[in-house]
Amino acid sequence: MTEKLFYEDSHKKVFTAFVKMCRPKGEYYEVVLDRTAFFPEGGGQYADTGWLEDSKVMDVWEKDGIIYHVTEAPVEENREITGKIDWDMRFMKMQQHTGEHIVSGLVHARFGYNNVGFHLGSGDCTMDFDGEITKEELREIEWQANEAAVKNLEVQVSWPSKEELVSLEYRSKIEIEGEVRIVTIPGYDVCACCAPHVKKTGEIGLIKLTNVQRYKGGARVTMLCGFRALADYDSKEQHVKSISALLSAKEEEISQAAGRMKEECGRLKAVLAEKQKRLLEYRAAEISGEETFACLFEEELEGDGPRILMNLVLARGIECCAVFLKTGDKSWRYVIGSMGEDMRPVAKGLNEEFCGRGGGKPEMVQGSLQGKEEDVRAWIEKKARRTKE
Ligand SMILES: [Zn+2]
């Protein structure tokens, strides 16, 4: 059995131990020590990383009480070595994990919901509860969780006997073989858990619940604790400041300013559409009534413009009309319509000739193609002549 130093002191960063075994495993090595501060995966907290001397520890796992360190390089057997855990990473995980206890304890006490899933991800943490939580309720839970943090309560660890456990009220009450480790945050949570936690709740820092959504008939809550919450505040502050500068609005008024801007944008779009329609009426009036197949190349049409122009031309009694809108160097969007003829063969022919795609109904086809204006125009004119004959 490996002696678990992380249970004696969750803040142990450096330790010495005796190397009992080192064997190759695939491209890595497995190292067993007589004691270790490296925590293997458990309680939703993933394994520590760090170093055994100069050899990097990539992963840690436990089987039958023996802890295996997966290292990049071998370490010498039968001698003392120094181990060092990646403390920043471990402390971050303990902050999130202890925060999760407080939030789950509060949710359990208030609603009776159980935490049925905890995921400590590389960006944030999620907790799944077997009941729904509203946004307002979440704000209240968040406030209470932060009260627990500032009270700087001691996180207590105990190993009650089987008899004591029977009468003890705690979360995660499942049949666990051997001793059960109980983690208590006085007034907030009592839970069976095997992972290391911070010693005092003040170490968690800010507990920010950033989201709640419906999930599998219950709720999924997203949380950031400590420096993660600070980093999130920092990033959101940058966004607010830059939006505030862009809108020339006070930081606390950017929502209203963005709302007004959206409204103004909608109004301008309507004005532009109306002006474009009037312009297109003039454009359509320029088309000679002699033509049977009008072919128009346009560069500045917004939204529905190409289709509106096509309809205006057809309304003048011209049999077929193709409108090409420039979308890039030699690339075009097209819409082709006719009052009587099937335009689908025209689209098919165009697509084949000019690497295009698209189709539609007999009276109207739409698509995109690649080609020079003069080549496309020549192709359409040839097609129009053939149709006439
Ligand atoms: Zn825990």
Distance of CA 166 from the midpoint of ligand 1 (Å):
20
pLDDT computed for residue 387 by the predictor:
66
How far, in Å, CA of 311 to CA of 355, rounded? 26
Q: Which of 141-155, 205-219, 277-291 has the lowest mean pLDDT?
A: 277-291
pLDDT tens digits, 185-226 = 999 999 999 899 999 999 999 999 999 999 999 999 999 999
| Residue 99 Cα to ligand 1 middle (Å) | 9
- Is pLDDT of 178 > 80? no
- pLDDT for 303 equals 87
User: What average pLDDT does the segment 13-22 reach?
Assistant: 98
Provide the edge-to-edge strand list for the sheet that holds 156-158: 156-158, 182-185, 189-192
pLDDT tens digits along 23-52: 999 999 999 999 999 999 887 888 999 999
CA of 183 relative to ligand 1 center, distance in Å: 7
pTM of model > 0.85: no
At residue 44, the pLDDT reads 81
pLDDT confidence bin for 389, thresholds 50/70/90: low
Residues 77-106 have pLDDT tens digits of 999 999 999 999 999 999 999 999 999 999
Which two structure tokens, joined as six digits, stand for 225?
């604790």
- Report the percentage of the chain scoring pLDDT > 70: 98
Residue type present at position 155: V
**Which pLDDT does position 292 carry in this prediction?**
85
Residues 156-166, mean pLDDT to the nearest whole number: 92
Q: How far is the CA of 383 from the centre of ligand 1 (A)?
A: 76
- Look at residue 108 and tell me whether its pLDDT is greater than 80: yes
Average pLDDT over residues 346-375: 95
Q: Distance, CA 50 to ligand 1 centroid (Å)?
A: 21
- pLDDT tens track for 325-337: 999 999 999 999 9
Distance from the alpha carbon of residue 39 to the mean position of ligand 1, in angstroms: 12
Q: Which pLDDT does position 262 carry in this prediction?
A: 97
CA of 305 to the centre of ligand 1 (A): 61
Over residues 285-311, mean pLDDT: 90
- For position 290, what pLDDT does the model report? 81
Mean of pLDDT values over 316-321? 92
- SS in 3 state form for the chain? CCEEHHHHCCCCCEEEEEEEEEEEECCEEEEEECEECCCCCECCECCCCEEECCEEEEEEEEECCEEEEEECCCCCCCCEEEEEECHHHHHHHHHHHHHHHHHHHHHHHHHCCCEEEEEECCCCEEEEECCCCCHHHHHHHHHHHHHHHHCCCECEEECCCHHHHHHCCCECCCCCCCCCCEEEECCCEEEECCCCCCCEHHHHCCEEEEEEEEECCEEEEEEEECHHHHHHHHHHHHHHHHHHHHHCCCHHHHHHHHHHHHHHHHHHHHHHHHHHHHHHHHHHHCCCCCCCEEEEEECCCCCCHHHHHHHHHHHCCCCEEEEEEEEECCEEEEEEEECCCCCHHHHHHHHHHCCCEEEEECCEEEEEEECCHHHHHHHHHHHHHHHHC
Are residues 287 and 260 in contact, defined by beta-carbon separation less than 8 angstroms?
no
pLDDT higher than threshold 80 for residue 171 = yes
pLDDT digits (tens, 9 = 90+) for 62-72: 999 999 999 99
Per-residue pLDDT band for 388 (boundaries 50, 70, 90) equals low
Whether the predicted pLDDT of 173 surpasses 80: no
98 Cα to the center of ligand 1, angstroms: 6
Q: What is the mean pLDDT of residues 115-122?
A: 91
Q: How far is the CA of 122 from the centre of ligand 1 (A)?
A: 18
Distance (angstroms) between ligand 1 centre and the Cα of 94 equals 8
Residue 172 Cα to ligand 1 middle (Å): 10
pLDDT > 70? residue 176: no
Comparing 227-236, 353-362, 377-386, the range with the smallest average pLDDT is 377-386
Separation of CA 136 and ligand 1 centre (Å): 26
